[in-house]
Amino acid sequence: MNIELQQIGLAAAALAVALVVSFVATPVVKNLAQRVGAVDVPKDNRRMHNHPIPRMGGLAIFLGFLLSALIFVPITGEIQGMLLGAVIIVVLGIFDDIYSLKAWFKFIVQIVAALIAVFSGNLIETLSNPNIFSSNPYWDLGWLSWPVTVIWIVAITNAVNLIDGLDGLACGVSTISSMTLLVIALTVSEGPIAILMGALAGACIGFLPYNLNPAKIFMGDTGSTFLGYILAVVSIQGLFKFYTIISFAVPFLMLGLPIFDTCFAFIRRIAHGQSPMHADRSHVHHRLIDMGFSQKQAVAVLYIISAILGLSAVVLTSVGAVKAMLFLLALCAAAGVAGLIFINNNDKKNGGRSGGGHGAEQEPEPEGEEEP
């Protein structure tokens, strides 16, 4: 482990600049969203807010990230392709937040944005072989690297979009994921990756005060798809290029919550004879709300799960697989005990009800579920 002070300073500066820009830009974007009609009006049972709320707040996150990246990151071909694809994703999100575009059209544009990143050199060329008994520790994907990379980028773009269902959830989880990759990048001296993740984390943190329950503005598809796209592409630039046995597992730990929720949603819909793109009200966050958690409690639970997975990813890159697995199990056990204590205390306070919803207080972001 060799963490350079200069890299820490640049990552911190990128985080600070993105935070300030995002925080200042959000009220401006909120007014713009109201002017152009990018407003989420509750119209079905997946939307628990009871009054129209502006969306398109992801534009402020994008502006904070972009300005910080342009200032602090050397613009290589890979990063240039990533930023161009991000612009396409954001423009698509803006139009979707205003006009509610068809799912198939959004899917096609996302593939185009992914291809731009791939053509610029963002490729998953090698994967570590999960079969520890194999004589070949790595898989060289060859021509398969192209479709595998496009699938990865589009899948993570939509995975973050899918969890965008409660105030502050997608933004907070993306912050945790970006901070995880920031720490990993610093430990392996990947300066540009650390700076990019500092910028993304700062942009999310600057937006969070407006997005936490009760939300004043939603990030919309403009924000959720942008965050997923950046996390997917940067993970290719960083994590998938580690030539170690753990490179296969780290991205899936870092993005564990959105990946699990997306896979579970697709399997559930197919099992019920529905289209995988069919929006429903059975995501992890919905299930927590239906169990009696308030929105703030549900978001806190999912933050903790994301943090546990993120810490496990950091440990995995630092001390090896066995210790990371033990660390993950210990954290899960501690979180389980703490959760039981919290629920029992809440039951006593609420006369047997576990934290239940609070009517107008529950104002989740639903637009993330109109996938892709």
107: Cβ contacts below 8 Å, ≥ 6 apart? 154, 372
Q: Look-up: residue for tokens 């933050």?
A: 303
Q: What local confidence, expressed as pLDDT, does residue 354 receive?
A: 39
Q: What local confidence, expressed as pLDDT, does residue 291 receive?
A: 80
- Paired tokens of 300: 């806190």
CA-CA distance, 224 to 124, in Å (whole number)? 23
What are the backbone dihedrals phi and psi of residue 38, each rounded to the nearest 5 degrees, phi first? -85, 75
CA-CA distance, 205 to 21, in Å (whole number)? 11
Q: What is the CA radius of gyration of the chain?
A: 20
* Mean pLDDT, each 10-residue run in order, the chain (372 residues): 79 97 98 94 61 92 98 94 98 95 94 97 79 68 90 94 90 95 87 95 98 93 97 83 57 83 78 69 75 86 88 76 64 64 55 38 38 52
Q: What local confidence, expressed as pLDDT, does residue 220 receive?
A: 94
Q: What local confidence, expressed as pLDDT, does residue 23 receive?
A: 98
CA-CA distance, 202 to 299, in Å (whole number)? 20
Taking phi over 0 as left and psi of -120 to 50 as alpha, with beta for the rest, 56 belongs to: left
